[in-house]
Amino acid sequence: MQSYGSTIVVVPRRYRSYLEEELGLVETVYNNINDIIIVRKPNRKYYIPIPYLEKIKTMKPENIIIMDYIKPRHIINLYRELHTNIIDRVQLILQIFANHAGSREAQLQIELARIQHELPLIREMIRASKMHELPGFLGSGEYAVDKYYRYAKKRAAKIRRELDKIRKIRAHRRDKRLSRGYPHVALVGYTSAGKTTLFNRITGEAKKTGSEPFTTLSPKISAIKYKEIKIAFIDTVGFIRDLPVEVIEAFYATLEEAIYSDIIINVVDISRGVERAEYEILESLGILSEIGVHGKPVITALNKIDLIPENNINKIIEALKNRIELEYIIPISAEKGININKLMETIYNILNPISKINIYNKHR
């Protein structure tokens, strides 16, 4: 965990019921939250309503995190009043991504998303400094900002080219895998649902897991043999509520692997209640259909049942079944290894006819 000094978090009212989740995102980067402000009606000029703004001035925080989409002019106006770091929800999410990015691809995607998010702000800065509204904003004169703007655009184009190359290589590897004929199972779901824990449990890998959001930032693949079938498992990047558009593009690319898989396992943390699980299941299915996954078998793995009293598990599953229609539901504990065999058998039974076609047609 990192600390960047005193921090005030500003949350729009619509996130009030998810306050804990939103603060969880903030706390992965800023662990020194001094105050939380809930905004009912954003101010047109500053986003933050004037009475709060006056209060913040006396507190002199080092960071103000605004968990909403804010306009470049809000950032500029706030900076002029407060002279402190103003970070919006997108920037925060990109910071979390950056802190976790291991692969070259993930790093490039984040840099690209950052540039795309910054460009409108830089344009607004250029406009404001040309109107002499912003002498020496962030210590840079008009010329420096102009120069940075041109650099950023060039850099973005270069990153796009490099990402294209990386994706082609991955697509090539994927084609090879597919032509060898073994089936693929993709693990998808919300961040911290336990996808990597399940992936490790099934494949014997030791990939990093953790309670903070976005522990996994690029797809991981590992194949095992189950009975006579070789099966490749793919661990993917987790979803979060209201994933910003700037991040979606980068994020969807890593989900490409799911499009080409034979089965999807939607991993859901069931320990936080039926309502939340339902929301996350539906959101995940929505994202999958947006990226073009249609008509594939989806296994819903209700994870972390070790955290639920045993006599409650069936009740919870029934409640969930009454709310949504799901093809395969399997309660599991990835961490404690509960019901993993059942999950594997289900995968096997779905794959068996598919793998037979692949194996017998391609190799005999």
Contact residues: ligand GTP, CB under 6 A: 191-197, 209-211, 213-216, 238, 303-304, 306-307, 333-336
Of ligand GTP, Mg ion, none, which one sits near residue 334, judging by CB under 5 to 8 A according to partner kind? ligand GTP
User: Residue 8 is inside which H or E element, if any?
Assistant: strand 7-12
Q: Tell me 333's DSSP state.
A: B
- Binding segment for Mg ion (CB under 5 A), chosen from 153-161, 209-217, 225-233, 297-305, is 209-217
**Residue 196 is a binding residue for Mg ion (CB under 5 A):** yes
Of ligand GTP, Mg ion, none, which one sits near residue 63, judging by CB under 5 to 8 A according to partner kind? none
Among 95, 116, 216, 358, binds Mg ion (CB under 5 A): 216
Of ligand GTP, Mg ion, none, which one sits near residue 333, judging by CB under 5 to 8 A according to partner kind? ligand GTP
- Say which residues have a Cβ less than 8 Å from residue 255's Cβ, sequence separation at least 6: 188, 219, 236, 237, 287, 288, 291
226 vs 223: CA distance, rounded Å: 10
Closest to ligand GTP by CB, 137 or 214: 214
- Binding segment for Mg ion (CB under 5 A), chosen from 17-25, 99-107, 170-178, 188-196, is 188-196
Minimum CB distance to ligand GTP, residue 147 (Å) = 38
**Residue 215 is a binding residue for Mg ion (CB under 5 A):** yes
Minimum CB distance to Mg ion, residue 313 (Å) = 24
Give me 319's structure tokens.
């409640």
**Residue 129 is a binding residue for Mg ion (CB under 5 A):** no
Closest to ligand GTP by CB, 129 or 197: 197
Burial code (b: 16+ CB inside 10 Å, e: under 16) for 16-49 equals eebeeebbbbbbbbbeebeebbebeebbeebbbb
Minimum CB distance to Mg ion, residue 188 (Å) = 11
Closest to ligand GTP by CB, 240 or 293: 240
- Backbone φ and ψ of 36, nearest 5°: -125, 130
Give me 92's structure tokens.
């925060």
Which candidate, 171, 160, 185, 173, places its Cα nearest to that of 250?
Answer: 160
* Residue nearest to Mg ion as judged by C-beta position: 216
Minimum CB distance to ligand GTP, residue 93 (Å) = 12
Closest to Mg ion by CB, 219 or 244: 219
The answer to whether 348 and 226 have CB atoms below 8 angstroms apart is: yes
Minimum CB distance to Mg ion, residue 215 (Å) = 5
Closest to ligand GTP by CB, 58 or 311: 311
- Backbone φ and ψ of 8, nearest 5°: -115, 135
**Residue 254 is a binding residue for Mg ion (CB under 5 A):** no
- Binding segment for Mg ion (CB under 5 A), chosen from 144-152, 189-197, 248-256, 262-270, is 189-197
**Residue 116 is a binding residue for Mg ion (CB under 5 A):** no
Would you say the C-alpha torsion 9, 11, 16, 18 has a positive or negative sign?
negative
- Backbone φ and ψ of 330, nearest 5°: -130, 120
The answer to whether 297 and 288 have CB atoms below 8 angstroms apart is: no
**Residue 303 is a binding residue for Mg ion (CB under 5 A):** no
Would you say the C-alpha torsion 178, 180, 181, 187 has a positive or negative sign?
negative
Closest to Mg ion by CB, 77 or 216: 216
Minimum CB distance to ligand GTP, residue 26 (Å) = 16
Give me 294's structure tokens.
């249609």
Residues that bind Mg ion (rule: CB under 5 A) add up to a total of 4
CA 264 to mean position of chain CA atoms: 17
Minimum CB distance to ligand GTP, residue 269 (Å) = 7
